[in-house]
């Protein structure tokens, strides 16, 4: 093998080794906060994810959800906020584990996330947002009535 080729092969191999390691994620919540994904109650979940800091309610962090969800397998939720948040998490008490999802918000992003969750029974849904820099926690919660449970129930 000539030198030129050898270098090329070496580079390719190097790239192959490095590539899986280059992780885009800012914080991997699953490895840094494994406990948060296992607990059942929202209160414990918030503690496990964000610590014991006090929660504030703010009209700048809101979410839209139907009051009565006919199908618990698909409940549309829209989170909106004009605050500069670092991450947003959604908790509910209906399922065996309370944490549904955690968003890591990139700097300067428009916070308007729309997605669907599953809930097996009527319960309170809580969202918690952590402000960038100050670390202040903001929260909003709502009770959603579920007539037919999701999760195959």
Partner 1 sequence: MAKKKMKIKAKEKKGIVKVKAMFTSLMADREESVKKGIKPEYIKYIVATVNDAVVYEVTMSGFMSENPLVKFKFKGKKGDKIVFNTIDNNGNKATGKKKIK
Per DSSP, the three-state class of 100 is strand
Give the shortest CB-43-to-partner 1 separation in angstroms.
17
State both tokens at 143: 């009770």
State both tokens at 110: 């428009």
Q: Exposure of 45 by Cβ count < 10 A (0-12 exposed, 13-18 middle, 19+ buried)?
A: buried
Residue closer to partner 1 by CB (options 6, 108) is 108
Among 21, 54, 106, 133, binds partner 1 (CB under 8 A): 106
Give the shortest CB-121-to-partner 1 separation in angstroms.
12
Among 30, 35, 56, 64, binds partner 1 (CB under 8 A): 30
96 binds partner 1 (CB under 8 A): yes
**Radius of gyration, alpha carbons of the chain:** 20
Integer Cα distance of 114 and 90 in angstroms? 12
127 binds partner 1 (CB under 8 A): no
Give the shortest CB-116-to-partner 1 separation in angstroms.
4
Enumerate residues 6+ apart whose C-beta is below 8 A from 115: 76, 77, 101
Among 13, 28, 64, 124, binds partner 1 (CB under 8 A): 28
17 binds partner 1 (CB under 8 A): no
Integer Cα distance of 15 and 37 in angstroms? 33
Subset of residues 49 to 88 that bind partner 1, contact rule: CB under 8 A: 73-75
State both tokens at 60: 């700048």
Among 50, 63, 93, 103, binds partner 1 (CB under 8 A): 103
Positions touching partner 1 (CB under 8 A) are 24-26, 28-30, 37, 73-75, 92, 95-97, 99-106, 108-110, 112-119, 150-153
């Amino acid at each position: 093998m000539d030198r030129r080729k050898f270098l090329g092969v070496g580079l390719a191999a190097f790239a192959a080794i490095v590539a899986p390691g280059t992780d885009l994620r800012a914080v991997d919540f699953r490895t840094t906060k494994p406990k948060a994904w296992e607990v059942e109650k929202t209160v414990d979940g918030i503690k496990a994810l964000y610590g014991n800091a006090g929660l504030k309610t703010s009209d700048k962090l809101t979410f839209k959800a139907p009051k009565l969800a006919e199908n618990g397998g698909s409940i549309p939720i829209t989170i909106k906020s004009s605050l500069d948040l670092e991450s947003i998490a959604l908790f509910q008490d209906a399922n065996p584990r309370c944490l549904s999802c955690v968003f890591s918000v990139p700097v300067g992003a428009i916070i308007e996330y729309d997605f669907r969750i599953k809930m097996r029974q009527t319960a309170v849904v809580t969202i918690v947002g952590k402000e960038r820099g100050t670390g202040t926690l903001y929260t909003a919660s709502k009770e959603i009535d579920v007539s037919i449970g999701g999760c195959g129930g």
